[in-house]
Copies of this chain bind each other. A is one copy, B any other.
Amino acid sequence: MRATNRRAVVLLSGGLDSATVLAEARSHDLECYALTLRYGQRHELELDAARAVADDLGVKEHLVMDLDLRRIGGSALTADLDVPRGEKRPGGGTAAAIPVTYVPARNTIFLSIALGWAEVLGTGDIYIGVNAVDYSGYPDCRPEFIDAFEAMASLATRESVEGRIRVQIHTPLIGMSKAEIIARGRRLGVDYGLTRTCYDPEGDGRACGQCEACRLRRKGFEEAGLQDPIEYAKG
């Protein structure tokens, strides 16, 4: 039998949050297996960022899998809908309703694939950068969803049902503000210049500066009193 407590699967999108989570898992001295899904994001830039982050922080393996969620549609991130820019929401930085950038069942699908890979690797430790504070209101970022997924997963696989591994979905960022995430990542050595956050980058690759994701990121750096190393098209 392989040792089961030194490996972890880390979902890595190339964004700020998942880079921080990877650094967190690495700081616990885990051998990390990064999983990135090419699901039909409109921007290859995200995948380049995921590769750069995996390389920079050091992973045992980085697996990029294809699953074209454009086939099922339903999201501005994978379909030809407009991504909203600069609209004000009640309450400031966080969303009042689930926005069009929501991708149906995305975290459920990604965690399920991570679960399969983790089982093959002989581990039940899965890390995901969901966040329920400065986030976009997605239902599959909430603690109650994560708990339910963990309960389901423990009944789903051979290794967990037969008691050889315990499935645990680790969400180290779930209760942090964006500013706290950034401060934590900096201490762990994350190079945020490698990460991509923008939903709707310019033709030259620069972040738009105005979509929901850009605004949350910029506000986070501001509140953390840190300089964001990436360049924005609009100030």
How distant is the Cα of A107 from the Cα of B74 in the complex, in angstroms? 22
Number of copies: 2
Tell me, yes or no, whether A5 is within 8 Å of chain B by CB.
Answer: no
B117 engages A157 (CB within 8 Å): no
A120 engages B104 (CB within 8 Å): yes
How distant is the Cα of A98 from the Cα of B73 in the complex, in angstroms? 36
For the complex, count residues of A whose C-beta is within 8 A of B.
44
Tell me, yes or no, whether A230 is within 8 Å of chain B by CB.
Answer: no
Could you give, for residues 32-71 of chain A, a 1 whenever the CB lies within 8 Å of some chain B CB and a 0 otherwise?
0000000000000000000000000000000101111101
With A151-B148, A151-B152 already in contact, the answer to whether A106 and B102 are too (CB < 8 A) is no
**A99 to nearest B CB, angstroms?**
10
Tell me the residues in window 76-113 of chain A with beta carbons closer than 8 Å to chain B beta carbons.
Answer: 98, 102-109, 112-113
> In the complex, which residue of chain B has the Cβ closest to the Cβ of A63?
B71
A105 engages B156 (CB within 8 Å): yes
B72 engages A113 (CB within 8 Å): yes
Residues of A that sit less than 8 Å from B by CB: 63, 65-69, 71-74, 98, 102-109, 112-113, 115-117, 119-120, 138-140, 142, 144-145, 148-149, 151-153, 155-158, 160-162
